[in-house]
Copies of this chain bind each other. A is one copy, B any other.
């Protein structure tokens, strides 16, 4: 611990601060106003007061500007690493999803609806969304293995968790008068167990 370190952040004045944030906000606004594919990168950078080249320094491509700021993977990593050892994985995952639902969805329904409408309207965004889903699986799976879950079980549970997150989100968004998303998550786990229950004779 050296001593002086932080005097004051010494605001840089050469460029307006938070270039990435300005780009992300400008992008989202324009996507919402005129659609994703109808928005060009030069339009975004013009609104943010930057250049096209700078946009691609902050985002790998135009889609990433839309998905920037997704905190769920980091949350998942942390939750898996810091949960008490020996906790039943399914319980851990369900509680983790309920926590995510409370912190990221239950109080932002309208914003989430706008985002989903944009994704649904744009194949390019649906595709990236599907990839983000796979990325989350790729975070959860090794986290479970590190907790001692067998590889196959870890793969299935990681996929199951992200499955429930997405199905619950759809349910919650489509319900005109929905309960909390956390409860939708739990309801999904209940139905999941129910549909998988072996039927005696293989008929309904």
Contact = CB atoms under 8 A, between A and B. Distances in A.
Interface residues of A, number: 41
Contacts of A91: 199, 202
Interface of A: 86-91, 123, 126-128, 130-131, 133-134, 148, 152-153, 155-157, 159-160, 163, 166-167, 170-171, 187-188, 191-199, 202-204
A-B residue pairs, 10 tightest by C-beta: A130-B130, A127-B131, A91-B202, A159-B163, A88-B199, A88-B202, A130-B131, A130-B134, A155-B167, A153-B195
Contacts of A88: 199, 202-204
A50 B187 CA distance: 54
Contact of A202 (B87, B134, B171, B187): B87
Given A90-B199, A159-B163, 4 more contacts: A89-B204, A152-B171, A155-B170, A156-B192
Contacts of A171: 152, 155
A153 B199 contact: no
Nearest to A189: B196
A181 to B, nearest CB: 14
21 contacts: A86-B203, A86-B204, A89-B195, A89-B204, A90-B198, A91-B199, A126-B131, A126-B134, A127-B128, A127-B130, A130-B130, A130-B131, A152-B167, A153-B191, A153-B195, A155-B170, A156-B167, A156-B191, A160-B163, A163-B163, A193-B198
